[in-house]
Structure formats: C-alpha cells, structure tokens
Amino acid sequence: MGKTRPPVVSGGMNQTVTRFAPSPTGLPHLGHAYSALFGWDAARRAGGTFLLRFEDIDPNRCRPEFEHAFLRDLAWLGLSWPQPVRRQSEHMADYRAALDRLSDLGVLYPCFCSRKDIQDEIARAGAAPHGPEGPLYPGTCRHMDPVRRADLLAAGAPHALRLDVAAAAHRAGPLSWTDLEVGTVAAQPGILGDVVLARRDVATSYHLAVTVDDHLQGVTLVTRGRDLMEATHVHRLLQALLDLDVPDWHHHRLLVNERGERLAKRDGAASLAALRNGGATPDDIRCRLSMDRWGVETP
C-alpha cells in the first residue's frame, strides 16, 4: 500500500475547515491578527479552507465600520476566504430552531433575574458555586414555582433563557473533546453554570450561535484563544443535545500587553491600522507575532 496522509481531523471528515470569528466591536489588533493567522495557517497546512464569520449578534456593540476594518486588515495580512461571509445577525432563525429543540428536550428555563438580582442573591446566599470567571448563576429561576413562572410569562415579563446544565448533562451522558495541543479532554459541561442561551435583548447568545454556526458551516477545526477553553465544555454539551457534528479544537496562546494583560481594544497602539500606518508590513506583523510563514512559532 502506498503512503497515505493521516487524516488531520477526527470524526470521519477529511477536509479541514477552520474559521476566524471576530465580533466587530473595535479595530482589529495584534491579538486578532494572531488568531486569524493561526486559523489560516492551520487550514493551509492541511490543504483545507479558512472561513471568516462575523459574530455580530449584539447590535449595541457591533459596528459596520469595524467589520470593514476586519475585511481590510485581514486582506492586507494576505488572508482570503470564500463568500459570502456569514453574519450571525442574518441567521436568527437558525438559532431559534436550535432553541426550540432544546426547549422540547426540557433543558431550558426562563430567567427573569436582572444583573442586580443575581448579585443580591449571591450576596444573600453568602456562598455561590464559582466558575473560572467568578461566581456562577445561583439558579434562582431554575427553582421558581411553576405557577409564578407561568404568570410572569403570560404577563410578558422580560426574560433570558438559561440552560439547565445539570439536566442537560444528565441527558447527554459523559462527553469528551479533543484539543490538538492538550489531547482528549473530559467535558465538564457545568463549568460555567446555567449559561444564558438567549438574552433578554438578543434572541441568542455567543454559546448557542457559535455552536450552531460551526456545524452549519462544516467547521472541522475550531481555532481560538485559550480564554475560550471553558466555553468549549459547554459547546460540546450543546453539540450532543442538538446532534451536531463535533470538530476538533486548538486553543492557542493569548497575546498580552506589556503589563501582562490580554491584548484588548483599549491597547489602541496595537491596532493593525496604526501599525500599518506606522510603516509595518504583513511580514513585520508575523515577525512580531513570532509566526513563520506556515504558522509555526519561531523562537
């Protein structure tokens, strides 16, 4: 038998599809460049496809001018992607269908709490289960009297939809996922608590939209920063509940500023536009990110 190339991804799929999925809430900076190039290089190494997707479900924070800046700066870096670019705001029906399915499974509940209600409840309880980012939702509305719940819904009280993560995890059974750097990881779907899947003001959430989209777009390798590793546990659970394809993941390192904090919008000096205007070339950007032309970290 001749030499065959080992499959790059698990799950029986053989064409690698990666994606970069920014929220257009600010100017692209070096952190975005790193993440985009990481996904692009992974696709290129495997002879696969790189997709761009805009996660623009929050109309208060996303702006067309930032979307244009991403299109311009990523093209300047030498990246290209098939058209059309998926914009989450144009696909709310897909998320609605997923919510309906989860609702039919009995794993959603309406949450009428404001942020303040949640803080007060945590203070009152004295102790709350903690996740990686602090106290988790204490489950107030999960235990609500069904008559009161029905009354509030009938009165049109504003509410979010939360995942009853214990019920959902019980239904799904033990799960695991694969990170190309870490290996097989046993899923801890409760790590972020009863996450919101549809907000009061937006009829979906990051967790739901990203999971549905990665499936619908045939993404086989999700590349993104390590700050989203906890979210992957939840996404794996949603995939199981919704019968979606399971990609591999590769969580990459995060770029930090001189104070050791994760690069963010506020580090305006690191915006790609500012660097380009200062004379930087795409090769300078790769060099600054310690990435060679194939995405391999240079010492």
* Residues of this chain that bind ligand GLU (CB under 6 A): 21-23, 55, 210, 224, 228
- Nearer residue to ligand GLU within complex by CB, 175 or 228: 228
| Chain mean position to CA 250 | 13
Q: What's the rounded Cα separation, in Å, for the pair 290 and 284?
A: 10
Q: Torsions phi, psi of 226, nearest 5?
A: -65, -20
**How many Cα atoms within 13 Å fall on the side-chain side of residue 276?**
16
Q: Residue 95: helix, strand or coil by DSSP?
A: helix
Choice among 91, 199, 226, 265 that is catalytic: 265
Which residue, 141 or 219, has its beta carbon nearer to ligand GLU? 219
113/209 with CB nearer ligand GLU: 209
The distance of closest approach from Cβ of residue 23 to ligand GLU in the complex, given in angstroms and rounded to an integer, is 4
Q: Which is nearer to ligand GLU, 122 or 255 (CB)?
A: 255
- Letter string b/e over residues 233-257, b meaning 16 or more CB atoms within 10 A of that residue's CB: bbbbbbbbbbebebbbbbbbeebeb
Question: Least CB distance from residue 246 to ligand GLU, whole Å?
Answer: 15
Shortest reach from residue 98's CB to ligand GLU, in Å: 16
Structural contact between residues 231 and 207, judged by C-beta atoms closer than 8 angstroms: yes
| Least distance to ligand GLU, CB of residue 184, Å | 20
Instruction: Rank residues 22 and 193 by Cβ distance to ligand GLU and give the closer one.
Output: 22
Among candidate residues 59, 80, 55, the one with its CA nearest the CA of residue 224: 55
Short-list 18, 4, 12, CA closest to 218: 18
Query: Is 265 annotated as catalytic?
Result: yes
CA-nearest of 226, 166, 170, 161 to 192 is: 166
Q: Which is nearer to ligand GLU, 152 or 216 (CB)?
A: 216
User: From the CB of 225, what's the least distance to ligand GLU, in Å?
Assistant: 7
Q: Across the chain, which distance is largest between two alpha carbons, in Å? A: 69
Rounded least distance, CB 39 to ligand GLU, Å = 9
- Distance of alpha carbon 69 from alpha carbon 75, whole angstroms: 10
Strand residue runs (E) in 180-276: 183-186, 196-198, 221-225, 248-252
Are β-strands 248-252 and 160-163 bridged in parallel, bridged antiparallel, or unpaired?
A: unpaired
List residues with catalytic annotation: 265
